[in-house]
Amino acid sequence: MRSRSAVNTRTNEFEMTKKTEITGSHTADQLLTIQGLASRAQVAAVTVRRWIMAGQAPAHIRVGRIIRFRLQDVEDWEDERAKEQADKASARRAALHRVYGNVRGR
Return the pLDDT at 98.
Answer: 84
Cα–Cα distances in Å, from 17 out to 20, 27, 61, 68, 70? 5, 7, 14, 12, 14
In this model, does residue 11 exceed pLDDT 90? no
Return the pLDDT at 99.
Answer: 84
Cα–Cα distances in Å, from 6 out to 31, 53, 62, 71, 100? 22, 25, 17, 27, 63
53-84 tens-digit pLDDT: 999 999 999 989 999 999 999 999 999 999 99
State the pTM of this model.
0.62
12-38 tens-digit pLDDT: 444 444 444 444 555 556 999 999 999
In this model, does residue 50 exceed pLDDT 60? yes
**Single-letter residue type at 54:** A
Alpha helices, H only, the chain? 4-23, 34-41, 45-54, 71-104
